[in-house]
Amino acid sequence: MRNFDEKTITDAVIERFSQCSDARTKQISEALVRHLHNFIREIRPTEEEWAYGIDFLTRTGQKCDDKRQEFILLSDVLGVSMLVDAINHPPMKGVTESTVFGPFYVNDPPQFELGQNLAGNFEGDPMFIEGSVSSPDGKPLAGASVDVWHSDGIGNYDVQQLDKLGGFAGRGLLKTDAQGRFRFWTIRPVFYPVPTDGPVGELLRAQGRHPFRPAHVHFMLRAPGYERLVTHVFGAGDKYIDSDAVFGVKDSLIREYIRKPAGTAPDGTKMDKPYYYLNFDFVMRPAAAARERAKKSKSEPAGSTIAYVPK
C-alpha cells in the first residue's frame, strides 16, 4: 500500500498492527492512532504549529528528573489524571471518594505516634486533625496506615525548601489505634500554585488559566484486605475550591477547618492561642470489590507515587 492521503492514512497505519500478538497493546495502539489522526484532521495544524507541539513535548520531557515529573503535571492540568482516577475508582456507596495523588508525595515518610506533631519547622497556624478509618459496614480498621502530607502556612511544601527547614515537615505516617482512630497536630495548609516554571506553566498562561490548588490535606490509607485510598480533605470556603487547577475537588471531601479559641484542645493539650480543628472519618473499599471492578475493565487499579517537585 502506498500513495496515502488524509482519508486513507489512518486505516493503513491501523492495518500494520494486524500481527500484534497482545490484544491490549493492539487495542490501545488502534485507538491511539484513530483519535490522534482525528485530532489532527480537526485542528489542521500548520507545519510550524506541529513543530511547536513536538518542541513542547520535548521540553516537557527535558524538565523531568528524579525529583520532578512534568508529564504527570501535564496530565493533571488537562484533567487526564482525574479521568483515570474516575475510571479506576468509581463511586461506591458509603466509601470515601478518591482524588488525584497530588504534586508532592515522598516515599518512606517519617513515622509518628498518634497525637504527635507532624509540622516540623513549618510556619503557620496550629491545627489538630483527628478521625477514623473503617469498613463500609462500620468495622473499625485497627493498625491502618495513615500517610499524611500538606503545604505550610504560605503555600509551600517541605520538599521545596528542605535546606531551609532542615528536613521533612508537614508529612508523616501514623497507624490507627484499636478503635480505628487517628489524631495528630500540624499546621493549617493554604492554597498554593502548581509549578509554573516549565512547559506546563507556559500552557496554563496560554490558556488563560490560574495555577492554584485550594487548601487541602493529602491522605493515603492502607489496610489489609482493602483497596488503597488516595484522597484529600479540602478546606471549605477556599477561594479556589471551584477552580482547582487539577480538577480534584469533590463535595464529599470538603470540610470546614474550624477555628477554635485558646483553651483545651480535644486531646487535652492546653493552647494559649487560637488553633484550627479538622475531623474526617474515612471508609475504605474492600479489595474484593476493587478486584471485581478491575476484572470487568480488564485493567489494574491505577496509581502513581511520582511527584512533580520544582527544583
3-state class of 161 per DSSP? coil
CA distance 130 to 243: 27
CA distance 18 to 30: 10
- Return the pLDDT at 66: 74
Asked if 179 and 132 touch (Cβ cutoff 8 Å), the reply is yes
- Return the pLDDT at 296: 62
Q: What is the mean pLDDT of the chain?
A: 92
Which domains are present in the chain?
Answer: 9-62 (no CATH), 70-297 (2.60.130.10)
Name the pLDDT band for 297 (thresholds 50, 70, 90): low
149, 273, 277, 310 from 64: Cα distances, Å: 22, 43, 37, 10
Q: Is the pLDDT of residue 2 over 90?
A: no
| 205-231 average pLDDT score | 97
CA distance 148 to 247: 20
CA distance 35 to 14: 12
CA distance 90 to 93: 10
Q: Model-level pTM greater than 0.75?
A: yes
Q: Is the pLDDT of residue 103 over 90?
A: no
pLDDT digits (tens, 9 = 90+) for 282-292: 999 999 866 66
pLDDT digits (tens, 9 = 90+) for 255-275: 999 999 999 999 999 999 999
pLDDT digits (tens, 9 = 90+) for 167-177: 999 999 999 99
3-state secondary structure 242-304: CCCCCCCCCHHHEECCEEECCEECCCCCEECCCEEEEEEEEECCEHHHHHHHHHHHCCCCCCC
